């Protein structure tokens, strides 16, 4: 049974329909900037999903309000931090990002506004992303005398290519949704009022597929950038064989032959 709390101080959870969870960064008064509490909250969510996702089969990550997805780290809270305090907070953010990357449930980022710094790194860390026409993106860290530290230098090149990633990171220049789409950072650009419905439609499709199959496929695709071609294929076959003895495999084939929608139970 999933033991995820019903509420968090900085995160709003919503279950709009069966098997789909919306995780909404909820500090709109500061453009959903991530303070220490939000770092702890988001880390707890991803870690719980790793331990026991319950009946959650797809997650939509978005921001509260209509101006920002996430402005990155809360620089007001960070102002005058000691080196030790900064590194301790960042260690929390690091563990949260690793937990997000390890989350077995697919994560769709629905970028409803500006996604700067760590917010852009959330987008990079999601399985894929949709963006509002008004969304803006930037990895602004070098303009602040630091650098991306939530896997931005690792995930962005995988999305847009090494040369484009260097340009984005080294110049710290913002760019819009259409550029993000053209470069491969987001999969779709939507009108603002169509963003969440579009993400929900996709989440619904994912949630309707075999949950074990989806999780195994997600892991295998993620490993494709980390392993050699032959070793990656061996990993894929291991992931594939995990599904052969499942009830879901039998149900999927049975439903196809009976010309009906399968009723997957994740078993």
pLDDT at 2: 57
And the tokens for 133?
């026409």
Instruction: Choose between 15 and 249: higher pLDDT.
Output: 15
The Cα 255–Cα 55 span in angstroms is 21
17 is catalytic: no
251 — pLDDT class (breaks 50, 70, 90): confident
pLDDT at 215: 93
The answer on pLDDT for 242 being more than 90 is no
The answer on pLDDT for 244 being more than 90 is no
Helix (H, G, I), strand (E, B) or coil at 239: helix
Closest CA to 104 of 242, 231, 212, 235: 212
Closest CA to 196 of 14, 30, 51, 50: 14
The Cα 166–Cα 179 span in angstroms is 15
The Cα 145–Cα 12 span in angstroms is 32
59 and 142 housed in the same domain:
yes
Tell whether 190 is covered by a domain.
Answer: yes
197 and 229 housed in the same domain:
no
Overall pTM surpassing 0.75 (yes/no): yes
Catalytic pick from 84, 121, 178, 247? 121
200 and 215 housed in the same domain:
no
48 and 133 housed in the same domain:
yes
114 and 219 housed in the same domain:
no
Instruction: Choose between 236 and 41: higher pLDDT.
Output: 41
Helix (H) or strand (E) holding 105: none
Closest CA to 31 of 77, 76, 70: 70
The answer on pLDDT for 53 being more than 60 is yes
7 — pLDDT class (breaks 50, 70, 90): confident
Average pLDDT in the chain: 93
84 is catalytic: no
CATH number at residue 229: 1.10.12
The Cα 228–Cα 231 span in angstroms is 5
21 and 52 housed in the same domain:
yes
Kindly list the distances between the CA atom of residue 244 and the CA atoms of 52, 168, 176, in Å, as whole numbers in the listed order.
22, 43, 44
Give mean pLDDT, residues 66-75.
92
pLDDT digits 0-9 by tens, 205-235: 999 999 999 999 999 999 888 888 898 888 8
| Exposure on the CB side of residue 74, measured as CA atoms within 13 A | 19
Catalytic pick from 17, 29, 84, 141? 141
229 and 136 housed in the same domain:
no
pLDDT at 237: 87
The torsion angles phi and psi of 114, rounded to 5 degrees, stand at -70, 140
Helix (H, G, I), strand (E, B) or coil at 10: coil
And the tokens for 80?
């005058």
Helix (H, G, I), strand (E, B) or coil at 20: strand
Domain count, the chain: 2
The Cα 243–Cα 13 span in angstroms is 30
| Exposure on the CB side of residue 5, measured as CA atoms within 13 A | 12
Q: Which of 192, 207, 222 is the last residue of a domain?
A: 207
Closest CA to 62 of 115, 15, 19: 115
59 — pLDDT class (breaks 50, 70, 90): very high
The Cα 211–Cα 13 span in angstroms is 21
User: Can you give the residue range of the structural domain that contains 66?
Assistant: 11-207
155 and 228 housed in the same domain:
no
The answer on pLDDT for 1 being more than 80 is no
pLDDT digits 0-9 by tens, 135-194: 999 999 999 999 999 999 999 999 999 999 999 999 999 999 999 999 999 999 999 999
Query: What string of DSSP letters covers 156-215?
Result: HHHHH-HHHHHHHHHH---EEHHHHHHHTS-SEEE-GGGHHHHHHHHHHHHHTS-HHHHH
247 and 168 housed in the same domain:
no
Tell whether 267 is covered by a domain.
Answer: no
């Amino acid at each position: 049974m999933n033991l995820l709390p019903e509420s968090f101080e900085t995160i709003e959870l919503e279950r709009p329909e069966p098997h789909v969870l919306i995780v909404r960064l909820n500090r709109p008064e500061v453009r959903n900037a991530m303070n220490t509490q939000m770092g702890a909250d988001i880390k707890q969510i991803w870690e719980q999903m790793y331990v026991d996702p319950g009946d959650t089969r797809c997650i939509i990550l978005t921001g509260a309000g209509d101006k920002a997805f996430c402005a990155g780290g809360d620089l007001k809270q960070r102002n005058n931090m000691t080196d030790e305090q900064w590194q301790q907070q960042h260690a929390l953010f690091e563990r949260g990002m690793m937990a997000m990357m390890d989350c077995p449930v697919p994560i769709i980022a629905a970028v409803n506004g500006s996604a700067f710094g760590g917010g852009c790194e959330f987008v990079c860390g999601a399985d894929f992303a949709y963006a509002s026409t008004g969304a803006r993106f930037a990895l602004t860290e070098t303009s602040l005398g630091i650098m991306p530290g939530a896997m931005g230098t690792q995930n962005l090149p995988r999305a847009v290519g090494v040369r484009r990633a260097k340009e984005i990171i080294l110049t710290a220049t913002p760019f819009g949704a259409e550029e993000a789409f053209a470069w491969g950072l987001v999969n779709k650009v939507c009108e603002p009022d169509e963003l969440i419905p579009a993400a929900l439609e996709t989440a619904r499709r994912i949630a309707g597929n075999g949950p074990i199959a989806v999780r195994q496929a997600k892991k295998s695709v993620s490993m494709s950038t980390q392993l050699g071609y032959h070793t990656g294929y061996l990993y894929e076959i291991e992931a594939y064989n995990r599904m052969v003895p499942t009830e879901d495999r039998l149900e999927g084939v049975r439903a196809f032959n009976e010309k009906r929608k399968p009723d997957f139970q994740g078993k």
